[in-house]
């Protein structure tokens, strides 16, 4: 309704009070306008949240990159990687594409319960087709990743009680892991995620994060396929600790230098280089695994850095899990490398 029409209806130029019909017409008109306005607001809000911006602000550059081929095991430092739908990759070196599971029920194990998992160090050949595992007191063992897809069909396993299809990597590496982690000849298996797309829904506990979708769940990741951390955030925590912890202990994929400490908390869209775009979909909440030293495989007896983080990095709605870093979903595929500029929008 225009201002002129509304004025005429309310003044009733015929000379009397507005009729009930006229008042209802006014109310209906106002309701329609309000509904249209709210609908437009919701549409614009949705578009802003789900469409990458056109203007970007440079905040820093990539200073380190890591891929963790086996969930909870050692990292492989790389100079660049492709950003796929299920996470970082260089050839068949992919992030969290393997995991160690219990033979009895196919449930995964992590460094939370088995901290010496971090001492299992994967390396890859020059073609990124064969993975060799080393660990203290063990002879090296090689897993021919390139042949896994043709050797057997996927079986049923689980990540956080969510079913996931994966390929068993065989008896030899199963025995190797069981001996190192359990001092037994059996009990554990190594499995491989064979798909190029995520298959798990968002976990119930993570549905409070509106931007997080099933497309972000990665291969065998806990929540998302990418995690970013800033050097300044690591340094800020270390100023409060008796024994500093390295950035690697937070198990990020992307380390950035330039931003102020915890500035990444407030980023929405992130672009690295010219083309690769991510969405900040949830804060990275920290658990007991954060206390495990990646060099020794020992969890801090003082519960550090987790205890210190709980003093100043708790966020509303996230309980007793403090936040360091952010978890991202890929929105525009591409490749990134050391020294690439990091932009936010």
Residue 11, pLDDT score:
59
Instruction: List pLDDT tens digits, range 163-187.
Output: 999 999 999 999 999 999 999 999 9
Q: Is the pLDDT of residue 262 over 70?
A: yes
Instruction: List pLDDT tens digits, range 20-70.
Output: 776 677 667 767 666 666 565 555 555 567 899 999 999 999 999 999 999
Closest CA relative to residue 155, chosen from 164, 146, 147, 144: 164
Largest CA distance in the chain: 101
Mean pLDDT in the chain? 92
Helix runs in the chain, H state only = 3-11, 20-50, 145-151, 171-182, 231-238, 306-312
Task: Report the predicted TM-score, pTM, of the whole model to 2 decimal places.
Answer: 0.86
Residue 242, pLDDT score:
97
- Report whether 268 contacts 345 (CB < 8 A): yes
Six-digit token pair at 315?
Answer: 């966020």
**Beta-sheet strand order (sheet of 188-192):** 98-102, 188-192, 162-168, 155-159
- Report whether 88 contacts 67 (CB < 8 A): yes
**Poorest-confidence range of 21-25, 83-87, 169-173, 209-213?**
21-25
- Give the contacts of 18 (CB within 8 A, at least 6 positions apart): 9, 10, 12, 26
Phi, psi dihedral angles at 142 (to 5 degrees): -115, 135
- Long-range CB pairs of 27-33 (<8 Å, 24+ gap) are 29/1, 30/1, 33/1
Residue 149, pLDDT score:
81
The confidence band for 150, taking pLDDT boundaries of 50, 70 and 90, is: confident
Residue 46, pLDDT score:
58
The confidence band for 257, taking pLDDT boundaries of 50, 70 and 90, is: very high
Coil vs helix vs strand at 165: strand
Residue 142, pLDDT score:
98
Closest CA relative to residue 278, chosen from 297, 295, 313, 254: 254
Q: Is the pLDDT of residue 14 over 60?
A: no
DSSP string, 225-291: SEEEEEHHHHHHHHTT-SS---GGGG--SEEEESSPTTGGGG--EEEETTTEEEEEEEEEE--GGGG
How far is the C-alpha of 265 from the C-alpha of 229, rounded, in Å? Answer: 10
Q: Is the pLDDT of residue 237 over 80?
A: yes
Instruction: List pLDDT tens digits, range 299-318.
Output: 999 999 999 999 999 999 99
Stretch (H or E) spanning 216: none
Q: For the residues 286-295, what does the mean pLDDT come to?
A: 97
Residue 101, pLDDT score:
98
Residue 50, pLDDT score:
83
Helix runs in 16-125, H state only = 20-50
**Percent of all residues in the chain with a pLDDT value above 90, rounded to a whole number:** 83
Structural domains of the chain ordered from first start = 57-344 (2.40.33.20)
What dihedral angle (degrees, nearest 10) is formed by the CA atoms of 210, 216, 222, 225? -130
How far is the C-alpha of 108 from the C-alpha of 103, rounded, in Å? Answer: 10
163 C-beta neighbours (distance < 10 Å), count? 11
Q: Is the pLDDT of residue 88 over 60?
A: yes
- Look-up of token digits 């060799």: 132
Q: For the residues 135-146, what does the mean pLDDT come to?
A: 97
**Poorest-confidence range of 16-25, 109-118, 269-278, 290-299?**
16-25
């Amino acid at each position: 309704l225009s201002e002129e029409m509304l004025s005429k209806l309310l003044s009733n130029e015929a000379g009397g009070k507005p009729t009930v019909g006229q008042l209802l017409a006014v109310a209906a008109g106002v309701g329609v306008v309000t509904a249209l306005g709210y609908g437009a607001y919701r549409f614009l809000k949705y578009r802003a949240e789900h469409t990458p911006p056109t203007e970007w602000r440079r905040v820093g550059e990539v200073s380190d990159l890591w891929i963790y081929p086996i969930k909870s095991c050692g990292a492989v430092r790389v100079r660049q990687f492709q950003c796929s739908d299920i996470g970082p990759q260089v050839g068949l070196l992919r992030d969290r594409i393997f995991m160690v599971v219990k033979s009895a029920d196919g449930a995964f194990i992590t460094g939370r319960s088995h901290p010496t998992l971090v001492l299992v160090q994967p390396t890859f050949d020059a073609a990124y087709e064969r993975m060799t595992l080393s660990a203290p007191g063990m002879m090296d063992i090689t897993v021919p990743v390139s042949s896994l897809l043709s050797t057997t069909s996927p079986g049923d396993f689980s990540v956080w009680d969510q079913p996931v299809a994966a390929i068993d990597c065989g008896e030899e590496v199963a025995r190797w892991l069981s001996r190192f982690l359990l001092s037994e000849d059996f009990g554990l298996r190594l499995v491989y995620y064979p798909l190029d797309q995520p298959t798990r829904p968002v976990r119930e506990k993570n549905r409070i994060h509106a931007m997080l979708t099933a497309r972000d769940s990665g291969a065998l990741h806990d929540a998302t396929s990418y995690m970013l951390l800033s050097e300044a955030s690591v340094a800020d925590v270390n100023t409060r600790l008796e024994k500093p912890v390295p950035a690697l202990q937070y198990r990020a994929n992307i380390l950035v230098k330039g931003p102020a400490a915890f500035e990444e908390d407030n980023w929405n869209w992130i672009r690295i280089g010219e083309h690769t775009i991510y969405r900040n979909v949830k804060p990275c909440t920290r658990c007991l695994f954060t206390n495990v030293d990646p060099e020794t495989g020992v969890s801090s007896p003082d519960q550090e850095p987790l205890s210190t983080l709980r003093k100043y990095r708790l966020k509303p709605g996230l309980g007793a899990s403090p936040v360091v870093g952010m978890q991202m979903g890929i929105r525009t595929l591409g490749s990134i490398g050391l020294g690439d500029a990091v932009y936010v929008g």
